[in-house]
Amino acid sequence: MKRAVKENFDASADAYAAYEARTGRFAALAERLAAAMEPRGRVLDAGAGTGAATDALAARADELVALDASPAMLRANPAPARVAGDIDRLPLCDDSVDAVAFTASLFLVPDPAAAVREARRVLRPGGVVGAVAPDGWTADGEGVFAALDRESRSPAPTEAVVDAVDAAFETASGTWTFDTDADDLRAFHAIPAMAARLYPKLPPDERTERAREALAAVDGGLEQHWRWVVGR
Ligand SMILES: C[S@@+](CC[C@H](N)C(=O)[O-])C[C@H]1O[C@@H](n2cnc3c(N)ncnc32)[C@H](O)[C@@H]1O
């Protein structure tokens, strides 16, 4: 599973950057998460990708480390300190960072609790952890994918992300909703790693093509929801 996720993101760097240039969604999520976490000192951007979240964290950090499993995503990240690695097996010493931000990444490992234990291990006393995870797209309150008779799945359910942080920290959590539209939904699923949520078994090209066909009829305004959780 982890290998498939890594390969999916290796095939996604360009489409990811195009989606982010169009919507600014991941930068907006990171800005909200960073404001909720108030990170200080040495901050780990865990699943940093192309760097959409890195600025919001770096603005509040003395030092930022960008870590990602996908070489292609990490190559596009402008952070000076970049580390290849897995969020559930961090290549960092115990008590070595002041904050760990899972910026849209904790739902991508099969066992979020293992990654949260790793965050706990590398955090210094008084440290803070935060995560955001997708919570669906709706049109007038109705799930877009239910209407298409299709499920949109991550490797781990969003509840498992919140529960994992909740089990190890004192938490605050909630949902952020963004007004968006059907064209953004299609741009999101033009990213092979996101189309994998709908068609995990197809190769990247076929999967984005199938998603394009499936989403062609969706029209008008939508809402996109993200759960967030911060633990101390
Ligand atoms: C949805 S992207 C988010 C990227 C970035 N944080 C942002 O907000 O734009 C998820 C990122 O998590 C990375 N990722 C997935 N599984 C991972 C793992 N096990 N360890 C480290 N990074 C992982 C992917 O390669 C990808 O870059």
Q: How confident is the model at residue 100 (pLDDT cuts 50, 70, 90)?
A: very high
* 89 CA distance to ligand 1 middle (Å): 14
Share of the chain above pLDDT 70, in %: 100
User: Which residue has its alpha carbon closest to ligand 1 atom 3?
Assistant: 104
**Per-residue confidence (pLDDT) for residue 1, from 0 to 100:** 77
**Per-residue confidence (pLDDT) for residue 205, from 0 to 100:** 86
Domains of the chain: total: 1
User: What ligand 1 atom has the least distance to the C-alpha of 30?
Assistant: 8
**Per-residue confidence (pLDDT) for residue 27, from 0 to 100:** 97
Which has more confidence, 112 or 150?
Answer: 112
Please indicate whether residue 86, judged by its CB atom, sits closer than 6 Å to ligand 1. yes
**Per-residue confidence (pLDDT) for residue 151, from 0 to 100:** 86
Per-residue pLDDT tens over the stretch 148-201: 888 888 899 999 999 999 999 999 999 999 999 999 999 999 999 999 999 989
Whether residue 139 contacts residue 147, with contact meaning beta carbons closer than 8 Å, is answered with: yes
**Per-residue confidence (pLDDT) for residue 14, from 0 to 100:** 95
Average model confidence (pLDDT) for the chain?
A: 96
As a whole number of angstroms, the distance between CA 106 and CA 173 comes to 15
**Per-residue confidence (pLDDT) for residue 111, from 0 to 100:** 97
Using the predicted structure, report yes or no on whether residue 133 has a pLDDT greater than 80.
Answer: yes
As a whole number of angstroms, the distance between CA 128 and CA 43 comes to 9
Per-residue pLDDT tens over the stretch 54-99: 899 999 999 999 999 999 999 999 999 999 999 999 999 999 999 9
The stretch 129-140 carries a mean pLDDT of 96
**Per-residue confidence (pLDDT) for residue 33, from 0 to 100:** 98
User: Which residue has its alpha carbon closest to ligand 1 atom 14?
Assistant: 47
How many CA within 13 A on the CB side of residue 104? 24
As a whole number of angstroms, the distance between CA 161 and CA 123 comes to 18
Domain span at residue 156 reads: 2-231
Please indicate whether residue 112, judged by its CB atom, sits closer than 6 Å to ligand 1. no
Residue 97 pairs with which residues in a beta bridge? 123
**What is the CATH number for 200?**
3.40.50.150
User: Which residue has its alpha carbon closest to ligand 1 atom 18?
Assistant: 86
Using the predicted structure, report yes or no on whether residue 25 has a pLDDT greater than 90.
Answer: yes
List all residues 6 or more positions away from 52 whose beta carbon is below 8 Å from its beta carbon.
Answer: 20, 26, 27, 30, 103
User: What ligand 1 atom has the least distance to the C-alpha of 2?
Assistant: 19
**Per-residue confidence (pLDDT) for residue 188, from 0 to 100:** 97
Using the predicted structure, report yes or no on whether residue 147 has a pLDDT greater than 90.
Answer: no
Q: How confident is the model at residue 139 (pLDDT cuts 50, 70, 90)?
A: very high
Most ligand 1 atoms within 8 A of CB, residue of 10, 26, 106, 108 to mutate? 108
CA 158 → CA 21, 77, 136, 171, 227, distances in Å? 25, 26, 10, 15, 7
Please indicate whether residue 73, judged by its CB atom, sits closer than 6 Å to ligand 1. yes
Using the predicted structure, report yes or no on whether residue 18 has a pLDDT greater than 80.
Answer: yes
As a whole number of angstroms, the distance between CA 57 and CA 186 comes to 28
Share of the chain above pLDDT 90, in %: 92
